[in-house]
A and B are shown apart, each in its own frame.
Chain A
């Protein structure tokens, strides 16, 4: 029996999960599972007292498994291909290079190779981290290392680890336990509504997926210090999972260790609160690479947090009009937003450059407007993203910008008998008719344009089911575009309109009624429009209604724009260009003119922006929240991640926590927590920009 056991151990210790082209990982994992099962069996037999027939039966079982093992081993490819990477000779590497040269796959073999070899390299790091005066300090040690992650998680008082920092009472203990993913059980309690319960099941999966992504070494053997980790979720008696402007996102967490049972209780008043609680809980869990041989999961063993957001609207704008991003890429954005409790994905779906939405009612829109047949979103795609976001506590607010920023996709009217749906499409010289090439503006005198707009909004609102807030665009109208058409000026004369702004205002009014109809005549609580000349005095009071309209103020933060809007009693969403435009800083993308919006906003600028610090309480109450914007003139698909993160995370804490700030310096704990948060994003597969050289993350406080 002992012989069998040691044989198994020996067999499994062989590095036969080396990179062979065909078996590689699958085989390796299988054998390890088998090994785990077998060794459990062996332990049972050695430790337990089965006797007689039972023992014989088990013996037979063991033997059979042994035979199976040998059979598996015999079926593996020749031993040469099973050598671990480090033992490879240069000749084999040359072979690999040639192999790579001839291989037609999207995932390059070298990527797989390095994933493998990284894990198996032998390396004894001398570095350990100790907590000195609330800060982790690195020092060389000979044994019993503490990993940076563990030190960061347990050192630094109650202002540590959680991003965004909770706004209520926080207690974070300084003890921790080790555990395995399989030990987690999530239980829904005190929740009456079935819809909430169903959605919580998805939230549980997301949570477990997030924890799983932290695991750096699969099947690591380190010991768990607890028997089980039970998480209770309670959403109370709330009905439904509709996210509205007044949805209560608060939650409480209690983490307690009862003997060998780790218990976490998350209580919220809605699904969204509970979800945020799970997000916070996942930030109290980390991978401790210094535990055992290969590391293990670790969690804080006592904590209590009460938390709720300062602002209810915490948005991020993604622009798929200038560039196309696949749904999967947008899902990664949602992942990042969920990690820092942002709650609104403002999808600037179309612009004058492209119309990527493949509308079933108006298929011509995408056919004329998409960059190519591959760069379209079907209604199923939109639904997929909406569902994905909802589970993660995020509403998808879709904007079809109008009347300006609309050209591509609107050209098919004339030849189908609907007249010109849009005007000055692609007109040159562009600078006379629009803010940036290519031009395009809807035709305010063509009823079909409004009908189509209504139809599109109806389709999209039926997918998002967002009834209380609708974004209708409305920025940067170029009146010269309209003024050049005789029939427009004549129609204006006929209707006694003299100011072109009135034409624009008239468009907004008509569009609004269409949008109401698209919303099944349900009047939303908020119709968002971009700030523009029309949202300035005197026009604003003619064309917009403070009870209905919300102005997304994107002018400079020192402009009078925002204060005037507040003075006039309008609710606002702040997107100040000088702080929260994440696309700035990449110079001009045209031959002529100035760079679009100045320098790159470093994360500190984003974080420090606190425009409401001088506003009165009444004015602050009109601020629904803020939104960071990533316009995509200069954003390729690979830069989507690094442009957003960690800057949008910094933005998220400003809106959730709104810590006091003098506008210049940032507390050390913010740096430390953000560095940890960036690691969390990376573990979830996001591409991020570094905050600084990694050394600075490893030596908290030393790079300030």
Chain B
């Protein structure tokens, strides 16, 4: 009887095991002609990881396959310097990276610690906790940095060189990462991270492998590689912004151009002028507090991303500026919410600052005091300056009267004069406050506009003080003309790098291929480019898929600027980077059916 009981027990458990085995199956991926493809048959066990001595036939994950199959080890963006990569990998554990920081200047040691901490955290997210508990091959990573400077700007040297090798047995590894600045070092670690890949081990545990040899020299083609993010049309939460910074850092983008305010809302807390958010924020939950901003800036810097704020003025200002009269300061903004809006602005709600109200400049001074407190006295600001709608000012008697008293008429040139005076006064206020805070005069970025049109720009804007961000179509001569006049520019090609297109009017959605293929002029005066996410039709609900993977496509254009690289060749690597983003919690849009991601070049 007892025997029977045991027999039944064994049988039942066998059936259970059988059922479990039946359910679990694994995939493997094979490399052929530098392309990875899923093999046809399901496997009962994942393929072996092997030792570092072997070139494997099959891999348990696409990422591992790409690591040794892709000519660039699926690095994104591809390095610009001499690069040699091995074709084998070996098992590694996140905690087995031993960082040697003796060649790091004291002043930047804590920063480097933070950067290596982020590196380890990202590695961990590849692995299951069972795997994390194990020990394995160790790798000594010797870091060295020349500069003790933590400044991140257009002069920061972001190059690095990375040398990674393992001994013949594959049990001991060594890496040397050399950079001039901590930011170059950070980029190097990002590359090192991309030289690892998740694998599936026996029993389904997710582990990690690293390529066994790599020698990379790398430096960016453009110094300004940015994403412009609009948080005014619709609010974007702080965690969303932090996650976006994660994404930017994963592809070595270095600027988050934060279009904080617009005529729709004013969501950034100004401690000295609390009315700005009280009137201008959508709700109390939709405010970036001073602490939030500090967190965002700090978070960005540790990831090599400089946050450049833009309070767009004098147009695109309405929400938050309504309280002037009540406070006895007169109208700070005009045409705010005027209807029919078509007569006063290009998009509702209308609103434009009142440049003839002297009190406005006092308020601006207070606002910028806060901004300088947050960002620091020598940081570059974007001052907006786009789409001033002359009929708004022209229909405001207070303004036309004041213009008359200054000897200005009501012609377009007169309004441009008024606008340029506003811009000069604003810059003056900001520079005075910078000076008081111990800063120096730095450049200011402005959107291209009437004021920056090549015929008149020299009359209004000093080429040594202003950098122009052009947002014209790729066929427009304006960027070239501004370059010829000697202006520095940042390019945001409207017909490919505007991520909001395709959801309104006659605009067309720009696929990652369109985005990737867009090439911008390459001269000393071209600082770089920015991809733009305007917020009319995007908020937290759809931010990630709107930005990614297209922003990553721009990242490679700006870092590597490949000349002979067809999108067909690029596609598998971008699929690979998309998977990396997913592991980091950034949910990109799909580029194609998943089958295509699993079968390189089969869907063309």
Contacts and interface: CB of A to CB of B under 8 A. Distances in A.
Chains A and B form a bound pair: yes
B348 A702 contact: yes
B234 to A, nearest CB: 5
A695 B291 contact: no
A98 B604 contact: no
Given A430-B603, A702-B348, 10 more contacts: A93-B295, A119-B285, A125-B278, A368-B41, A638-B545, A638-B588, A689-B503, A693-B233, A694-B539, A695-B282
Interface of A is mostly: loop
A437 interface: yes
Contacts of A591: 513, 567-568, 571, 604
A397 B589 CA distance: 26
Contacts of A599: 502, 508
Interface stretch (B9-17, B96-104, B161-169, B235-243): B235-243
Contact of A125 (B283, B291, B588): B283
Interface in B510-539: 510-511, 513-514, 535-539
Nearest to A120: B284
A134 B599 CA distance: 58
29 contacts: A85-B291, A101-B118, A102-B121, A104-B124, A104-B129, A123-B284, A125-B284, A140-B279, A140-B322, A321-B593, A322-B594, A323-B594, A354-B595, A371-B595, A371-B598, A373-B24, A438-B595, A438-B603, A590-B592, A591-B571, A602-B503, A635-B589, A636-B545, A641-B541, A688-B542, A691-B537, A693-B233, A694-B235, A695-B233
A592 interface: yes
B585 interface: yes
B593 A639 contact: no
B187 to A, nearest CB: 17
Contacts of B599: 426, 438
A492 interface: no
- Please list the 4 inter-chain residue pairs (A to B) with the smallest Cβ-Cβ separation, ordered nearest first: A638-B587, A123-B284, A642-B542, A587-B511
Interface in A365-388: 367-368, 371-373, 376, 378
Contacts of B150: none
Nearest to A678: B541
B398 interface: no
Contacts of B589: 586, 634-636, 638-639
A110 B593 contact: no
B590 A587 contact: no
Contacts of B24: 373
Contacts of B406: none
A694 B117 contact: no
Contact of A121 (B132, B265, B284): B284
B593 A353 contact: yes
Nearest to A407: B595
A669 B279 CA distance: 26
B265 A104 contact: no
Contacts of A367: 25, 42
B502 A586 contact: yes
Contacts of B319: 695
A406 to B, nearest CB: 13
A326 interface: no
A602 B602 CA distance: 32
Contacts, number: 254
A123 B287 contact: yes
B201 to A, nearest CB: 14
Query: Which among B22, B242, B295, B535 has the highest number of chain A CB atoms within 10 Å?
Result: B295
Query: Which among B299, B510, B595 has the highest number of chain A CB atoms within 10 Å?
Result: B595
Nearest to A364: B42
Contacts of A535: none
Interface string A680-703: 001000111111111110110011
B375 to A, nearest CB: 13
Interface in A217-257: none
B594 A639 contact: no
Contact of A97 (B232, B265, B302, B502): B302
Contact of B592 (A98, A364, A589): A589
Interface in B260-312: 263-265, 277-279, 281-285, 287, 289, 291, 294-295, 298-299, 302
A695 B535 CA distance: 12
A587 B509 contact: yes
A108 interface: yes
B587 A97 contact: no
Given A695-B349, A702-B349, A636 B592 contact: no
